[in-house]
Amino acid sequence: MTASTTVPRISATVGAGGTNTAADVRVVQDLLNRAARAELAVDGDCGPATCGAIRSYQSGFLNAPDGRVDPDGLTLRRLAADAGERSEAPRSDPATASGPADGARLTQFARQGPGHYAYADSERQYGTDAMLQLLTGTAAALHRAGLEMGVSDISFVQGGLMPPHRTHQGGRHVDLRPLRTDHARGPVSIGDPVYSRDGTRALVESLLSHSAVRRVLFNDTEIAGVRSYPGHHNHLHVEVGQ
């Protein structure tokens, strides 16, 4: 490890017999992918594939690989060096995130502000510049109309698989709640009495006014500009381009 390499921080052990906090596991999975081409899903789940990748990596410098990465331990330091880690902050820091494999930089969306609120964990709300501009602009338009949208999953800071989604891997997909007639911050489906078609239509119109939007999946066919898709009766799935 060179003197300029900064070791990313994990809060506890990852791997066989470890604490395996999801955020720590994703840090190690990301390092293994970059340092050893492990091709792991960066999903925070320390299963057999991740433990096996740790042992395989350790076999290059340990006589008795234990399949575990300790905070500030040798394996973590070697991973950081081999991955070419240069950040002076942990990889969960949005200001220094390298983003998904295509090189896009991901930044965390504000948890709350005029015209929007979050209803997903903060670690699942990192997007590209285009995504954040879309959400910020849409929230501002809704706020002017006295409305508010709920923002759910976007992506992890380092990209990668985000169960249960097949998308949401690169900061260009987001799930939003339909609006309610009572303006409450809660779930709602198309068939519910408190579902607001007018409010949701205003949300869709604002989204589609942005040229970056590729598609909006939602199952209310009375709203122009959306595409029906199985399972999208209680949320809108929005995709942006580069």
Name which of 117, 105, 88 is nearest 180 in CA terms: 117
Confidence of residue 164 (pLDDT cuts 50, 70, 90): confident
Give residue-wise pLDDT tens across range 195-231.
Answer: 999 999 999 999 999 999 999 999 999 999 999 988 8
Confidence of residue 96 (pLDDT cuts 50, 70, 90): very low
Instruction: Check residue 135 and report its DSSP letter.
Output: H
The answer to whether the CB of 55 falls within 8 A of the CB of 65 is yes
- The predicted model gives 133-152 an average pLDDT of 96
If one compares 185 and 96, the residue with the highest pLDDT of the two is: 185
Whether residue 230 has a cis bond before it, omega within 30° of 0: no
State the Cα–Cα distance between residues 171 and 157, nearest whole angstrom: 8
